[in-house]
Structure 1
Amino acid sequence: MIPDDFIVRTMKRSEIDLAITWAASEGWNPGRYDAESFYQTDKNGFLLGELNGEPVGCISAVAYDQHFGFLGFYIVKPQFRGQGLGMKIWKTAMDYLGADRNIGLDGVVAQQDNYKKSGFQIAYKNIRYQGVGGGVMPAGIIDLKTVSFEELVAYDCQFFPSKRPVFLRHWIEQPESTAFGFLKNGYLVGYGVIRPAHTGFRIGPLFANDEQIAEALFQALLAENPHAPVFFDVPDANVQAINLVQRYQLEPVFQTARMYTKEIPNLPIDRVFAVTSLELG
């Protein structure tokens, strides 16, 4: 039975940093400056569970638009698990996003069966690979900030179920991050972002029209951070992306499944070489 003094409420901005700290403790290695990008995307979409005033669990339920939302940060502190607190947090998040939206999440292996019971189906697996930064900057790479923001938003929405201009505006401006683009005939045909994480750096997203463009962007992002550990989450459904990580002899270290409540979005997965994040999709 859930205690009467357990409540679920909307987080304040400062409390999202707590969720990121908990995520780091779970071994998920979130970005060090992700909180601001996340909060600005949906200021009401981060929920905190409190027991007698003590934070004990959290979840994010970000509504991108009226048709699509994404769940992340579903955590209950270990000593408070098994009491039904997590289920109340979960139900509050699902109620916030509503039954009409298609809802996505990245589920860890241990929770995937539970998510299936809640109506989620697996679209593909995301495999986290680890490598080491370094190498030579390839030709043809540009600073993404030289591309018009409108063109970036239009390109990005080919790979995501919703337009996300607010998120992108903050994501590409994160401190200590780098965002590169690749142009062909004057048009954006690929981009990638690398940002500092609790351990090393994380690449995401890495979207490109073909494997050669993706590899050039990948080399550029590695070259920006010599000798540092670098991680990125690759859809196993993209054979070209798997070929790329195998050529560079990267090591798989972690796995999740991208799951949805309704139809699996019709996205060009063969051009998604790294997903943006596991928390917001």
Structure 2
Amino acid sequence: MDKMGLGTSSQLKESLKKVRHFALDMDGTIYNGGTLFPFTIPFLDYLKENGIGYSFLTNNPSKSTADYLAHLDKIGIRATKEEMYTSAQATIDYIKVHHPETRRLFILGTPSMVREFEGAGFISTADDADDVPDMLVVGFDMSLVYPRLCRAAWWASRGIPYIATNPDWVCPTDKPVILVDCGSICACIESASGRKPDLVIGKPDPRMLSGILERYSLQPDQVAMVGDRIYTDVRMAHNAGAVGILVMSGETTMEIVEQSDLKPDIIAENLAEIQEMLKIH
């Protein structure tokens, strides 16, 4: 398979020539777990020097925006609130627009995620059958405890509106362990209650890119989504009409690419290779 999914060098040039903003996945793309890739800072510096914008997009809602910015700063990346967009923020935006009357949420998520929702004006209900929520929100809950999982399944079985923050089955990590993510937790709830989420926010939902398009007055083909997963990152780019760039620095292998029904527009080993591609146009 041609490594550069657009097929020819001239097509590759034309695709990247239009790009004015890079939407960057985080885990598996700019870092792995707590380890910053050595090519990340040079790539971000190159974009700045050439007047190309960037934002960090993540399906991982386990940290609030403030906690993510602190995490990035700790590993050497200075970022602003405007440069950060998580699936928790996208879920909050969706609820406010489409369910403006909703205030009370049973949230299956980390304390940091719960703080993000509470900071946006929502009330987090207790693990109590008498404390009835307006909506069930399930995220990547790294603090998951059995009673709250059971309560989430109960509310799902009661038919209240049910939204998941992201579809990921596992979260990338540099540790010898599998991090069970939101998609897997929702599968557990489905097995117990017979119900899937009404809506799954986060990549590949194209609404994750709409904020960037609106904020910077961009057209979809002026944005490149860079990530290490076809089923979230590349598919969201496809759904939004943006350029989908797959990097091989995370969980995807060429075998997965060959078996996928959706092919990336561009495939690169990592951000360093994308930087080299940008230099050719």
For normalisation by structure 2, the TM-score amounts to 0.25
Structure in which a larger fraction of residues adopt strand: 1
For normalisation by structure 1, the TM-score amounts to 0.25
